[in-house]
A and B are shown apart, each in its own frame.
Chain A
């Protein structure tokens, strides 16, 4: 073995490798070739074993040549790998192409019931004004449902609430959430800003606008200075939050035995916007709730001094609010639980 022979062998290895690279069909062949030529037991290593037989003074010269050859081979392999890799990626991407216009894998979505959600929405709106939520029983006694609300037995105002009675002496199914006013006043001291959502019952045949079961949200605000004007201001905010900023509202006398003065609160017809249509019985207005200043008798039954404390109460039907907002024509839908109805809400 001499230096010249060794140099020739190295040059031949470069040439061979170059040819093999050109013939390599894919990156795997390049990898194999890399191992075959540059690996620990590769051909370059074998060739360089011959160095040991050379005289000591020639060895550095061979080292330089060997390094040049290794660099050249590495460069050739790298270039070929890049070239083939790009092509392979290209063909893989082509092969993996799918029809991206197909629909996705469905995720089933449930929906919140519109009655409950309307109550939650009402609570969110009044929550901004400091109102907190309370709950009271659905089975009440006559005292709480009527008498403490200034509706004595055999009072003609009882005609306003057709009542379902139960076989527990003195008890009935609450006809409204208003008894909650008494419970709250007996639980906490003013200042009171309370909301009482819940289920109510009436002896009323079921039709498009009446139900034997429905929900109500009662509001109660009592302190030393809350006025009828505050009620108006707050209800305006509510109407704007619920039905849209700028909606016109109307405040007119109503009648409830447990408020004095009593109020009916209207919002401009959401269908016709005022001129009158069948939806608003040609009045241009839709009544959304009843309200009034808490009657002194009710304050007294709530344990509060009507000389010192005053405030307002209101009551509204979340289904009615929901019907107005979503243009739902039939109250019965709320308890039928048809998924084609329920699925339309969030």
Chain B
């Protein structure tokens, strides 16, 4: 809401600077978002008087004027406007002046004559809508005065919250100022000289659905002369952000800004008549097949829920949203019908959304209007039209519902208000504060019903005798319904800053594990290992979803959600790039890699802890995953070290790190050869179990398929990815560590080289060793992998370091040799391996 202070000052005393006023309003909840000073950009524009206006010697359309600004020699100024005459006072832009929009005025040759400045139109100064004529100032205006001193204004841009439709008006803001300063609000005059014919003979209004139109007040002004509004009116409207159109249309807009009452005016001649010759208006919903050409010259098919203003011939306006083109007030209009109505807020909101026509008017209707305002708005508009456009106002109003409901009462308990706010204001102070916003109060000695909640969960309690105060709420304050609303009003007027802060001293809730604990441990471990945390969009493009869809779906870790269900699509996406909720993280992470590579970063290691989303029937599911993406050097080159490119083993190392953090055993891998998004020879399923044997980590790791690297122009030779379900990622804590006694006896280490067929996975060899090794075999670590002579071409040798240890004794050579012999036998029959000497 743009509030010109010149306008506001007409309704309430302003003894404050604009900054002080802005601060007061902000502290009342009417946040001033900007203070705009109008006129500061009219440097060197002063009041001048035309001494002479003569034809330009060489150009028919130009005039040559002599202008005095009260001192110095008269200026010779060339002017193209035709509305000027000697003796008028006008704005003169002197050479060097800069006008709104940055236009600089200089002494200039115009068709052979020097022009020492420029006469300004209202439009050039941003003051009025008139671009053709020079702005003619009052004859009394002091010569030589800077125009900024006369017409400069300050406009506050107030963020009026949706619950305060009443404050979408100069009157409403004036009431807030009055609440703060204690000044009186001077309401605009609404008395009308309605000495014309009785309105009943000119206009008839019928409302078919009184729920959707609770009141329609019509007035009639005959014999008007359409023309521009007075300059000062235009200046105000422009300052308030409304473009002036004509005196009649401006009058309706003026009333909307001033009173907050949207008004529509019809050309009475274009409104169809009933038999008696009266213009006949019906407020009804649209009928099948009806259409209307609205003011913006768009022909619209009407939805059956649309509330219309109609005449016997059909629709002449969409109620509360936009008028029809056919009945628009135009230059030839002589008789005007004023519509000042109250419509159902929900109906107007739906209609405005339906046609994409949300306007200043519909915004005010949506927030609800008091019945009384229909009468005031009609009267005020008639008065202004009469004042600005002449004619005669028909006597009386047509009014479909003259009942004006009495103000609502809301009972409250001052003690409860204090208990909510943490204050000790007491009943008397609270009542004084409320009085300042026009809420009158009365102590109630009898038991009374307190509205505690309203809306979708209404609730009331009985207050014992003597505890309550009954507040009478001004009709314009539709937002105050319950006791808590009164509390806010008390706090607002008392000042939020005056509410004493203190630290809570109420009972504490019991301990609860944080669902972030495990996530944080995993994130910090990965960061420590050199991987950077990314956060990518959950909403991605259909192409990303399609191209990076996993075909394998490993079971989720214990307690974690499965990846399941179909994709969830946004029905009103902002762009195709953010249209579908992702199923997996890996596609997004490849984009992070690609983005950084394009910025010249060749070595990228990123992870994300994020969600996937799916739809199962009409239910939605969300699951947490850890995603990894590596490219370039995992150990970047330095002067003392060559670069080491990232490979799948690095990703596996990170997976093993995570397994360690969450207290799981060492992960095992199984070759994955048929996952279309991964390299068939360099991919694996990874899984690890916790001590209790539950699946603690489960997912996929591998190199991205070269086809995808190319299709997405990722510009990297290789990209390693992983996506894992991790037990606890969705909100679990870190499992407690169970201590295992450390043996006091020495361990025995043995290296074992096992020759196996190329096709035998290392994991199978390792598990054969583990299972045959007996209880004293404590660890099996692969430390070398050899191919070549003297092995056969299809053979390789895997060297493991085995550690044997007993908790209660030093193992004998014999015991260890026996274990090795058992292992050797098992390797022979399980994986066809032999021990290499």
Chain A contact residues, CB within 8 Å of chain B: 102-103, 105-113, 115-116, 120, 123, 127, 129-130, 132-135, 137-139, 147-148, 150, 152, 154-157, 159-160, 164-171, 173, 188, 191-193, 197, 199, 201, 203-206, 212-213, 221, 223-230, 232-237, 250-255, 257, 260-264, 281-283, 293, 295-297, 299-301, 306-307, 310, 334-340, 342-343
Residues in chain B near residue A254, CB distance under 8 A = 29, 161
Task: Assess the B569–A253 pair: CB atoms within 8 A.
Answer: no
Query: Which chain A residue lies CB-closest to B570?
Result: A164
Q: What are 22 A-B pairs with beta-carbon distances under 8 A?
A: A109-B528, A112-B527, A112-B533, A113-B535, A127-B514, A130-B508, A138-B538, A139-B620, A157-B163, A160-B162, A166-B581, A167-B571, A227-B422, A232-B500, A234-B503, A254-B29, A261-B491, A281-B34, A307-B461, A337-B596, A339-B532, A339-B596
Task: Assess the A111–B455 pair: CB atoms within 8 A.
Answer: no
Residues in chain A near residue B40, CB distance under 8 A = none
Task: Assess the B501–A133 pair: CB atoms within 8 A.
Answer: no
The docked-state distance in angstroms from the alpha carbon of A59 to that of B482 is 124
Query: Which chain A residue lies CB-closest to B33?
Result: A281
| Residue B572 CB within 8 A of the other chain | yes
Task: Assess the B507–A191 pair: CB atoms within 8 A.
Answer: yes
The docked-state distance in angstroms from the alpha carbon of A201 to that of B622 is 15
Nearest chain B CB to A110 CB, angstrom units: 4
The docked-state distance in angstroms from the alpha carbon of A191 to that of B511 is 12
Q: Point out the residue from B506, B605, B731 that lies within 8 Å of A224, measured CB to CB.
A: B506
Given A212-B539, A260-B485, A262-B488, answer yes or no on A230-B31 (Cβ-Cβ < 8 Å).
Answer: no
Nearest chain A CB to B150 CB, angstrom units: 26
Given A135-B515, A233-B501, answer yes or no on A188-B509 (Cβ-Cβ < 8 Å).
Answer: yes
Query: Which chain A residue lies CB-closest to B492?
Result: A253
Instruction: Convert B339-369 into 0s and 1s, putting 1 for each residue whose CB lies closer than 8 angstroms to a CB of A.
Output: 0000001100110000000000001001100
Nearest chain A CB to B491 CB, angstrom units: 5
The docked-state distance in angstroms from the alpha carbon of A254 to that of B419 is 20
Given A152-B456, A297-B457, A334-B535, answer yes or no on A110-B528 (Cβ-Cβ < 8 Å).
Answer: yes
Given A168-B618, A261-B488, answer yes or no on A213-B366 (Cβ-Cβ < 8 Å).
Answer: no
Pick out which of these stretches binds chain A: B402-410, B633-641, B688-696: B633-641
The docked-state distance in angstroms from the alpha carbon of A216 to that of B354 is 31
The docked-state distance in angstroms from the alpha carbon of A317 to that of B443 is 44
Query: Which chain B residue lies CB-closest to A159?
Result: B162
| Residue B512 CB within 8 A of the other chain | yes
Residues in chain A near residue B538, CB distance under 8 A = 138, 199, 201, 213
Query: Which chain A residue lies CB-closest to B160?
Result: A255
The docked-state distance in angstroms from the alpha carbon of A164 to that of B31 is 28
Given A132-B512, A137-B620, answer yes or no on A150-B488 (Cβ-Cβ < 8 Å).
Answer: no
Residues in chain B near residue A134, CB distance under 8 A = 515
Query: Which chain A residue lies CB-closest to B591?
Result: A337
Residues in chain B near residue A336, CB distance under 8 A = 595
Pick out which of these stretches binds chain A: B222-230, B314-322, B518-526: B518-526
Task: Assess the A261–B492 pair: CB atoms within 8 A.
Answer: yes
Residues in chain B near residue A129, CB distance under 8 A = 503-504
Q: Point out the residue from B499, B508, B570, B638 that lies within 8 Å of A106, measured CB to CB.
A: B638
Task: List 8 tightest A-B contacts by C-beta distance, closest first.
Answer: A229-B422, A227-B422, A253-B29, A108-B530, A261-B488, A232-B501, A255-B161, A296-B453
Given A112-B533, A164-B572, answer yes or no on A233-B503 (Cβ-Cβ < 8 Å).
Answer: yes
Task: Assess the B596–A252 pair: CB atoms within 8 A.
Answer: no
Given A139-B613, A168-B620, A212-B578, answer yes or no on A227-B507 (Cβ-Cβ < 8 Å).
Answer: no
Nearest chain A CB to B695 CB, angstrom units: 22
Task: Assess the A310–B514 pair: CB atoms within 8 A.
Answer: no
Looking at B28, B422, B607, B640, which has the most chain A CB atoms within 10 Å of its CB? Answer: B422
Query: Which chain A residue lies CB-closest to B572?
Result: A165
Query: Which chain B residue lies CB-closest to A276?
Result: B19
| Residue B573 CB within 8 A of the other chain | yes
Nearest chain A CB to B622 CB, angstrom units: 6
Residues in chain B near residue A293, CB distance under 8 A = 420, 484, 487
Task: Assess the A230–B530 pair: CB atoms within 8 A.
Answer: no
Task: Assess the B453–A297 pair: CB atoms within 8 A.
Answer: yes
Instruction: Convert B29-55 into 0s and 1s, putting 1 for each residue whose CB lies closer than 8 angstroms to a CB of A.
Output: 101011100000000000000000000
Chain B contact residues, CB within 8 Å of chain A: 26-29, 31, 33-35, 161-165, 345-346, 349-350, 363, 366-367, 419-423, 452-457, 459, 461, 482, 484-485, 487-488, 491-492, 496-497, 499-504, 506-509, 511-512, 514-516, 520, 523-524, 526-539, 568-574, 578, 581, 592, 595-596, 599, 601, 604-607, 609, 611, 613, 615, 618-620, 622, 634-636, 638-641, 731
Task: Assess the B455–A255 pair: CB atoms within 8 A.
Answer: no
Task: Assess the B523–A157 pair: CB atoms within 8 A.
Answer: no
Query: Which chain B residue lies CB-closest to A138?
Result: B622
Task: Assess the B731–A135 pair: CB atoms within 8 A.
Answer: yes
Residues in chain B near residue A108, CB distance under 8 A = 530, 605, 634-636
Query: Which chain A residue lies CB-closest to B32?
Result: A283
Task: Assess the B574–A205 pair: CB atoms within 8 A.
Answer: yes
Nearest chain B CB to A330 CB, angstrom units: 15
Task: Assess the B349–A156 pair: CB atoms within 8 A.
Answer: yes
The docked-state distance in angstroms from the alpha carbon of A19 to that of B457 is 112
Task: Assess the B496–A263 pair: CB atoms within 8 A.
Answer: yes
Task: Assess the A110–B533 pair: CB atoms within 8 A.
Answer: yes
Nearest chain A CB to B630 CB, angstrom units: 11
Query: Which chain A residue lies CB-closest to B353?
Result: A154
Nearest chain A CB to B384 CB, angstrom units: 28
Residues in chain B near residue A282, CB distance under 8 A = 35
Q: Point out the residue from A157, A169, A253, A296 that lies within 8 Å of B162, measured CB to CB.
A: A157
Query: Which chain A residue lies CB-closest to B634?
Result: A108
Query: Which chain B residue lies CB-closest to A254?
Result: B29
The docked-state distance in angstroms from the alpha carbon of A167 to that of B507 is 44
The docked-state distance in angstroms from the alpha carbon of A257 to that of B163 is 8
Task: Assess the A297–B599 pair: CB atoms within 8 A.
Answer: no
Task: Assess the B454–A342 pair: CB atoms within 8 A.
Answer: no
Known pairs A123-B516, A156-B363, A168-B568. 16 more at Cβ < 8 A? A108-B635, A113-B533, A133-B516, A137-B620, A155-B162, A168-B615, A227-B419, A228-B423, A228-B499, A234-B504, A251-B499, A253-B27, A253-B29, A310-B420, A342-B532, A342-B533
Looking at A109, A147, A199, A339, which has the most chain B CB atoms within 10 Å of its CB? Answer: A339
Task: Assess the B539–A213 pair: CB atoms within 8 A.
Answer: yes
Given A112-B524, A173-B570, answer yes or no on A103-B578 (Cβ-Cβ < 8 Å).
Answer: no
Query: Which chain A residue lies CB-closest to B598?
Result: A338
Query: Which chain B residue lies CB-closest to A205?
Result: B574
Residues in chain A near residue B641, CB distance under 8 A = 105-106
Task: Assess the A252–B29 pair: CB atoms within 8 A.
Answer: yes
Residues in chain B near residue A253, CB distance under 8 A = 27-29, 488, 491-492, 496
Looking at B419, B497, B568, B570, which has the most chain A CB atoms within 10 Å of its CB? Answer: B570
Nearest chain B CB to A234 CB, angstrom units: 6
Residues in chain A near residue B615, CB distance under 8 A = 167-168
Residues in chain B near residue A310, CB distance under 8 A = 419-420
Task: Assess the B535–A230 pair: CB atoms within 8 A.
Answer: no
Given A156-B349, A168-B615, answer yes or no on A307-B488 (Cβ-Cβ < 8 Å).
Answer: no
Query: Which chain A residue lies CB-closest to B516?
Result: A133
Query: Which chain B residue lies CB-closest to A188?
Result: B509
Residues in chain B near residue A236, CB distance under 8 A = 501
Query: Which chain B residue lies CB-closest to A228?
Result: B421
